[in-house]
Structure 1
Amino acid sequence: MRATLMKKLRSFRHNDEGVTLVEYGVALVLAVTVGVGALSGLGTTVEGQMDSACSAMTGGTVAVCP
């Protein structure tokens, strides 16, 4: 029984099939997470710059820019 179990464990250890799918999944999740974080930060910065430009064009009194 023990010999059969050890043989199975050795075969699982040397079997690389399916590993690439997991690696691609991890890489995809990482890329999406970094992309969403970068776009969120960039969107906040752009919004602040647009608000500043709108205030400068209207004299800072009434915001007519959307």
Structure 2
Amino acid sequence: MTNTLTAFVARFRRDEEGATLVEYGVALGLAVIVGATALSTLAGNVKGEVEEANAIFTSTSGS
């Protein structure tokens, strides 16, 4: 049993496929963070523009 476990651990340490998977996971996480930040910023800008347009239409239609 110990030999099997030792062989598994040794094979796992030599296998670089897991490191590649971790690297893709980190890259994906970073892309999600950047995308969420960009969308949040864009949403704030659009909200400001819509509120400004609403204020203009509200003030001109009431006169």
Q: Please report the TM-score for the alignment, with normalisation by the length of structure 1.
A: 0.65
CA distance in 1, matches of 2:61, 2:50: 16
Point out where structure 1 has 5 or more consecutive residues left out of the alignment.
1-10, 60-66
* 2:34 maps to amino acid: L
Alignment of 1:1-66 (within 5 A): 15-59=19-63
**Which structure has the highest helix share of the two?**
2
Report Cα offsets for 1:6-53 as digits up to 9, x if no partner. xxxxx6x99423100000000000000000000100100000000000
Secondary structure of residue in 2 paired with 1:34 = helix
Give the distance between the partners of 1:16 and 1:57, measured in 2 at CA.
Answer: 60
What is the percent sequence identity of the aligned residues?
15
Amino acid at match of 1:52: I
1:6 corresponds in structure 2 to none
Tell me the number of residue pairs that the alignment of Structure 1 and Structure 2 aligns. 48
Runs of 4+ in 1 over 2 A off after TM superposition: 13-17
Cα RMSD (Å) of the superposition?
A: 1.9
Q: Which amino acid aligns with 2:30?
A: V
Shift of 1:58: 0.3
